[in-house]
Structure 1
């Protein structure tokens, strides 16, 4: 994501938690999440805000994106061969992010 998208992401977060955003905040966040896809980051923020009362940090966004990507891999097994239940919430968020990307590209 570019620096403007990082700013937009922080504005989305600010609406919920009323954090203060300045240029230094945008730069710091961009250094930590700028390599992520914007749509995936937005969906990760939504996941966090639906499920947690913890103050959102860049690590939460990264973990949310990782959770969605893992869910997108389909059925998996643990190291003992037991089926791992799919993360339906994360998979839905992933699909939303991907469909949003296709709409923008059209």
Structure 2
């Protein structure tokens, strides 16, 4: 939080308790709350005065911001770091800590591990006569069709959860960038 944001925070508090805010107040409060996010701190001030008539102090703000962050973390699942970091304990831990910090601050993170996925042996066996490399490439992305939502590497299913005889929905082919605007397959490796 910048000194200017501390002024905004103290102005919010002053609207409730009629405090006079001077330069010394800004310096002291900045030293106590500079590591907090301004939006969380504002929410903490409003929450304090919704539940209490006590004079607001930095400890009140810090306590409420901590509760706000803990509530966010309780609602969210911390996504796993990239699979490439699995054999590197230091960077893996840093990635988890970074994700926790972002979630605590209110950022949304993708829940899916983004890794290159090869088609499973099961797919290769069950793909039948459709040996199109385009369909195999489609398996590198999740299916965006709402009733399906197959993860990368998994076979698409119909609305009743049954496997498709053709392994990928058209929406999945489009998501993988494998169809032209007219619905015709694009050549693999074609950048156009």
Give the structure-1-normalised TM-score: 0.69
SS of 1:54 mapped into structure 2: coil
Deviation, 1:41, is: 0.4
> Cα deviations across residues 18-65 of structure 1 (Å, max 9, x unaligned)?
111100010000000011000010001111111111110000000000
List, as ranges, runs of 4+ consecutive aligned residues in structure 1 with deviation greater than 3 Å: none
SS of 2:73 mapped into structure 1: coil
Deviation, 1:72, is: 1.1
Partner Cα distance (1:33, 1:65) in 2: 10
Give the structure-2-normalised TM-score: 0.39
Which stretches in structure 2 are left out of the alignment for 5+ residues?
A: 76-104, 108-192
1:22-101 superposed matches below 5 A: 22-74=22-74, 98=106
Partner Cα distance (2:31, 2:18) in 1: 22
Q: What's the Cα RMSD here?
A: 1.6
Greater relative contact order (Cα < 8 A, sep 6+): 1
Deviation, 1:70, is: 1.1
Deviation, 1:98, is: 4.0
Deviation, 1:74, is: 2.0
Higher share in helix? 1
Correspondence for 2:9: 9
Partner Cα distance (1:52, 1:63) in 2: 14
Which stretches in structure 1 are left out of the alignment for 5+ residues?
A: 76-96, 100-106
Deviation, 1:17, is: 0.2
